[in-house]
Amino acid sequence: MGISFLNNQKLIKEYIKFLKSQEVLSEPFRDKMGQLNNFYIPLCEKIKNIFLNKKRTIIIGLSGGQGSGKSTISKILKIVLKRGLNLETVIFSIDDFYKTYNERKKISSKISSLFLTRGVPGTHDTKLIYKAIKYLKKEKFKKIKIPVFDKSIDDRLPKEKWRIINKKPDVVIFEGWCVGVKPQKKKDLIKPINRLEKVEDIKKIWRFKVNNEIEIN
């Protein structure tokens, strides 16, 4: 399969074009073809094998810190999976499932003022995430809408501006900084780890609620 990839000029062209578009905002990517042949292609071949064995839509979770390259890696995987392996691939981010500003405002008044600031578990609409994944995996697929969150206004866009998925995906890449994160032990939450917890979360309500959200989900 590797030789066919090397001869896939459309795949290579799209891959290089995408990397160049990213280099405008950051430093140049090193060893572009080496990364493609030694990392992305083997990984995508494994993903295809999983899909062929499962014979149904598979969900790939991609976790990493802010600015670690989750979105870039996801888009490269999609290029290889779709262009090289003919797998219909959809990417969506946990960021698009933040609760609305008004929803976070209500939580901040009832539980902790820190929940007004999006980011931590508890500020995501997990029910909406589960619903989206459930529909994306359905055998009898119907087009669905994926929410879009606009960070410039710190709020979710109205439904008429949500992203429409028209075709049933073979692979869904779900990326986010806390995807797959496990909860901490309760004893590890007692001592504040930074000024925010020490000053703004004296009663430990916020950190225990965040941890509980991870445990539930």
How far is residue 71's CA from residue 64's CA, in Å, rounded to a whole number? Answer: 10
Q: Alpha helix (H) ranges present in the chain?
A: 2-6, 9-23, 32-35, 41-54, 70-79, 101-110, 126-137, 195-200, 205-216
C-alpha 167, offset from chain centre: 19
User: CA angle at residue 125 from 147 to 134, to 5 degrees?
Assistant: 70
- CATH ID of 2-181, from 3.40.640.10, 3.30.360.10, 3.40.50.300, 3.40.47.10: 3.40.50.300
Comparing 11-20, 24-33, 184-193, the range with the smallest average pLDDT is 24-33
Q: Report which of residues 117 and 23 the model is more confident about.
A: 117
Stretch 128-155: mean pLDDT: 94
Measured between alpha carbons, how far is residue 215 from residues 39, 109, 183, 186, 211 in Å?
32, 23, 5, 11, 6
Exposure string for 93-106, b = 16+ CB within 10 A, e = fewer: bbbbbbbbeeebee
The model's confidence at residue 8, banded by pLDDT at 50, 70 and 90, is confident
How far is residue 146's CA from residue 41's CA, in Å, rounded to a whole number? Answer: 28
Q: What is the pLDDT of residues 54-89, one digit of tens each?
A: 999 999 999 988 888 899 999 999 999 999 999 999
Average pLDDT, the chain: 91
pLDDT of res. 4: 54
How far is residue 146's CA from residue 165's CA, in Å, rounded to a whole number? Answer: 7
The model's confidence at residue 3, banded by pLDDT at 50, 70 and 90, is very low
Question: In this model, does residue 48 exceed pLDDT 90?
Answer: yes
pLDDT of res. 29: 87
pLDDT of res. 66: 81
Locate the domains of the chain by residue range.
2-181, 182-217
Question: In this model, does residue 201 exceed pLDDT 90?
Answer: yes
